Structure 1
Amino acid sequence: MRVVDIRIYPVKSGAGCPVPEATVEPWGLAGDRRWAVVDEAGDNLWLGEYPRMASVRAQNVDGGGLLLSAPGLPDLQVPPAAGEPVPVGFTGLDRAIPAGDEAHAWFTRLLGRTARLVWLDDPHRRTIDPAHGGLPGEVVSFAWDAPLLLTSAASLRVLDEQIGGDTPLDMARFRPNAVIDGAAPYAEDSWTDVRIGEVDFRVSELCDRCAVTTIDPVTLVKGKEPLRTLAKHRRWDGKTWFGIRLVPRNPGRLRLGDPVTVTSDGQG
């Protein structure tokens, strides 16, 4: 088994950026989901409700800040956020640092509603929700429930066969940080500990899937797949499942081609 794709998402709900390698920090990959877009009350503007978020291409800039681009909007250089904290409504986090007015106006124009861009200055301030497998001292960025999401190319191939469409699904629908190949389909369901290259990870939970996966990352059009087919084959506890959430046990580097070793398997 090896890593065949690595992606970071500088802005939560924005498009992923493929990278050849990334630093693994306690809260996730360096530069991953340190920015998020919220409404005037500080609640996250969710990709499932605002598909145009998936059109946002963001690049982390040396020294902090972002370079933003999206179809129909001018590119925008966002300086490092340095204002006073504002309230936000993320589980385990009540405040974040706002970007400048230009960034707020850019996202407001993109989404057609009042929006603000905020930055998580210190991910140590946000702990992983125990309801999603978090243990004391474990922290996370603006990602939903764990520092990293891993998916399997073999599992997607089986899902594509079950759907039976003419065009395979783009793995980008599932928004993983790392994609592996070489495992049996859905073998990852039973993993409890895994080593990727030089980094050991704990599997905090399987990943339940939502309506975000039904948005085509290119056309931004919503459909019924893959949730319809996942509901037929991968539904239990009232949810559908694809991928696993990981918590790093040590820092290190994640690289394309890294070997993947299962160090503990829940099947015994």
Structure 2
Amino acid sequence: MTSSILSAITLYPVKSLAGISVSSWPVVKTGLLYDRKWMLVDAAGHFLSQRKLPKMALIKTALTESHLILSASGMASLSLPLIPTDGDIISSTIWHDQCEARSVSKEADQWLSYFLKLDCRLVYQPAEMVRPVDPRYADATDNVSFADGFPFLIISENSLTSLNQAMNLNLSMARFRPNLVISGCVPYAEDSWREISIGTIDFRLTKPCSRCSVPAIDPETAQTGKEPLTTLNRIRKWENKIYFGQNALHNQLGTLTVGDALHVKATGVKQPPI
């Protein structure tokens, strides 16, 4: 029997900008360390994403021991401290959540506004700002950063292989922006997982991930096409939404490493039930 393992780890320091692939990474209360710790907001404090600004996909991110680095074609790289301390506390909105956030710097705002051709601000989640996960799917102690709603998104390699075969294409996993990719399981096995362990960390998979327009954006060019949404609408639609991947919550802190074994501890009816 083939064993399932963690085959890729990706964190996205700035919500909706390019991610960073790592071989091993700490897990903190809100998920992967520095994952979605920053985000862009408009003048009203509403979060910005590739849904409105596909060009956000072209901004690369990197982390050093002390700085977040942003880079984009035609722009000088921008280096920002990992822990801003002197910004303003502002009210921000992520979907239905109201969150306090700290502004980073005018330099960052100008850099991003110039590249995106839209006035925006870069904000940071300070340590004292606690954002709970939707209580319909989580415990009262579960927290999340500026991710859409959950600390982790999990997708199996063979789910993407199956989807690509249905499309007769070879789209990359980067379009779907998972944190954790699993190899060694059948396509869509994750739909039935309810409790798993990866290495020393236990996870609860309580809600399938409904997909928006972002997977239709080529992360290398920011151009938008019809796939994979057309095919997902045909084969992965339930109650007028399309699904690919599973949102997950973690029970412990620790470290995840590519190659960690995955063990399924509890299964249930497929979510979505298709």
Per the normalisation by structure 1, the TM-score is 0.95
Partner of 2:140: 136
What amino acid is the match of 1:161? Q
What amino acid is the match of 1:44? F
Question: Which ranges of structure 1 fall in alignment gaps of 5 or more residues?
Answer: none
CA distance 1:43–1:17, change in 2 (3 Å) = same
Q: Confirm or deny: 8 A CA contact 1:42 1:89 kept in the other structure.
A: yes
Mapped to 2, the partners of 1:160 and 1:123 lie a distance apart of 42
**Within-5 A mapping of 1:48-197:** 48-63=51-66, 65-79=67-81, 80-82=83-85, 83-90=87-94, 91-122=96-127, 125-131=130-136, 133-165=137-169, 168-197=170-199
Alignment match of 1:36 (pick from 15, 35, 39): 39
Deviations 1:25-69 (A, max 9, x none): 121101111000111111011111101111111223324x41110
Mapped to 1, the partners of 2:37 and 2:63 lie a distance apart of 10
Aligned-residue CA RMSD in angstroms? 1.4
> Does 2:236 align with 1:231?
no
Partner of 2:208: 206
What is the SS of the residue equivalent to 1:204?
A: strand
Q: Confirm or deny: 8 A CA contact 1:92 1:128 kept in the other structure.
A: no
What amino acid is the match of 1:112? K
Mapped to 2, the partners of 1:261 and 1:29 lie a distance apart of 20
Deviations 1:153-188 (A, max 9, x none): 1011110110013xx110000000010111111111
Report the Cα offset of residue 267 of structure 1.
4.1
Report the Cα offset of residue 124 of structure 1.
5.5
Mapped to 2, the partners of 1:187 and 1:193 lie a distance apart of 12
What amino acid is the match of 1:67? I
Q: Confirm or deny: 8 A CA contact 1:93 1:125 kept in the other structure.
A: no
What amino acid is the match of 1:100? S
What is the SS of the residue equivalent to 2:242?
A: strand
What amino acid is the match of 1:177? N
> Does 2:13 align with 1:10?
yes
Q: Percent identity?
A: 38
What is the SS of the residue equivalent to 2:57?
A: helix
> Does 2:222 align with 1:217?
no
Mapped to 2, the partners of 1:57 and 1:219 lie a distance apart of 12
What amino acid is the match of 2:138? G
Report the Cα offset of residue 92 of structure 1.
3.4
What is the SS of the residue equivalent to 1:125?
A: coil
Mapped to 2, the partners of 1:14 and 1:123 lie a distance apart of 24
Report the Cα offset of residue 77 of structure 1.
1.1
Partner of 1:24: 27
Q: Confirm or deny: 8 A CA contact 2:154 2:182 kept in the other structure.
A: yes
Runs of 4+ in structure 1 deviating by more than 2 angstroms, as ranges, are: 60-63, 90-94
Mapped to 2, the partners of 1:229 and 1:37 lie a distance apart of 30
Task: State how many pairs are aligned.
Answer: 264
Mapped to 2, the partners of 1:98 and 1:58 lie a distance apart of 18
Partner of 2:257: 255
Q: Confirm or deny: 8 A CA contact 2:99 2:129 kept in the other structure.
A: no
